[in-house]
């Protein structure tokens, strides 16, 4: 008899969290929730409305007036902001470069965490982000902290961009990733940190299949 569990995957940008969580969720028949997309959607709206991103009060008020919905689809998770599909818009360079400033606000995060907890309540869920094992799902049966060297993570993003026909500089990508890691790890409100009971998975030398299989093996142990 297998039980439906909660799986929390945290780690820095480009570690492979969403790719691997998506594959594992499909294999297990679980719901995949990309929490980064919610912070990105809020950042996108804040930029559109020219909100002061460094103002905790302004950003928190904005979130209270915002509906963010995540919907699974054959092409990955779709993101709706107040009913509008913003799945591509939230991946822009502008959003990527500003999202860590928005995500640093503690009172805004409290609301996000509450919403994310409700999404995961029924179990049978794989959620990825920065604070899932520490703040959103502290009782998750399986917690994984996924990482890889910053060079490898930048290389992956470079390849992603190339595939999408976007010209980018490897050095600039490496800098952007390192800065985001620093901001996410050093903020006061639920920083990016490995939960005490999380398993560390270094994906630098792993293929996507190898990393997904490692997660599936751990999950089957916890489901038994």
Count of alpha carbons within 13 Å of 106, Cβ hemisphere only? 5
Name which of 143 and 156 has its Cβ closer to ligand CDP: 156
Using rule CB under 6 A, residue 160 touches ligand CDP? yes
- How far the first Cα of the chain sits from its last, in Å, is 7
Using rule CB under 6 A, residue 87 touches ligand CDP? no
Using rule CB under 6 A, residue 6 touches ligand CDP? no
Q: Which stretch binds ligand CDP (CB under 6 A): 9-17, 24-32, 50-58, 80-88?
A: 9-17
C-alpha 55 chain-centroid distance: 23
| Segment (H or E) for 59 | helix 56-64
- Contact pattern from residue 98 through residue 127 relative to ligand CDP, giving x for each residue in contact according to CB under 6 A and a dash for the rest: -xx--x------------------------
Q: Which two tokens stand for residue 102?
A: 């928005």
Query: What span, in angstroms and rounded, lies between the C-alpha atoms of 137 and 117?
Result: 7
- Binding-site positions for ATP: 11-19
CB 194 within 8 A of CB 10: yes
Using rule CB under 6 A, residue 147 touches ligand CDP? no
Query: What span, in angstroms and rounded, lies between the C-alpha atoms of 33 and 46?
Result: 22
124-143 residues in contact with ligand CDP (CB under 6 A) are: 129-132
- Binding-site positions: 11-19
**Least Å distance between CB 224 and ligand CDP?**
26
C-alpha 43 chain-centroid distance: 14
Q: Rule CB under 6 A: which residues touch ligand CDP?
A: 11, 13-19, 35-36, 39-40, 99-100, 103, 129-132, 156, 160, 180, 184, 203, 206-208, 211
């Amino acid at each position: 008899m297998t039980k439906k569990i909660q799986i929390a995957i945290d780690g820095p940008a480009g570690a492979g969290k969403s790719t691997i969580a998506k594959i594992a969720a499909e294999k297990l028949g679980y719901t995949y929730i990309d929490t980064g997309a919610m912070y990105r959607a809020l950042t996108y709206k804040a930029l559109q409305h020219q909100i002061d991103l460094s103002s905790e009060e302004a950003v928190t008020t904005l979130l209270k007036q915002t509906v963010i919905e995540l919907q699974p689809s054959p092409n990955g998770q779709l993101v709706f902001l107040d009913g509008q599909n913003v799945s591509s818009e939230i991946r822009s360079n502008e959003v990527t470069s500003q999202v860590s400033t928005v995500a640093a606000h503690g009172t805004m995060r409290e609301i996000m965490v509450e919403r994310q907890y409700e999404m995961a309540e029924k179990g049978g869920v794989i959620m990825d982000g920065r604070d899932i094992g520490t703040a959103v799902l502290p009782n998750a049966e399986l917690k994984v902290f996924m990482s890889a060297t910053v060079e490898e993570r930048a290389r992956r993003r470079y390849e992603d961009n190339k595939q999408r026909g976007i010209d980018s500089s490897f050095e600039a990508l490496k800098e952007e990733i390192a800065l985001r890691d620093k901001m996410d790890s050093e903020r006061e409100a639920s920083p990016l940190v490995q939960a005490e009971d999380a398993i560390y998975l270094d994906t630098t030398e792993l293929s996507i299949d190898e990393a997904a299989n490692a997660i599936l093996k751990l999950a089957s142990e916890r489901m038994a």
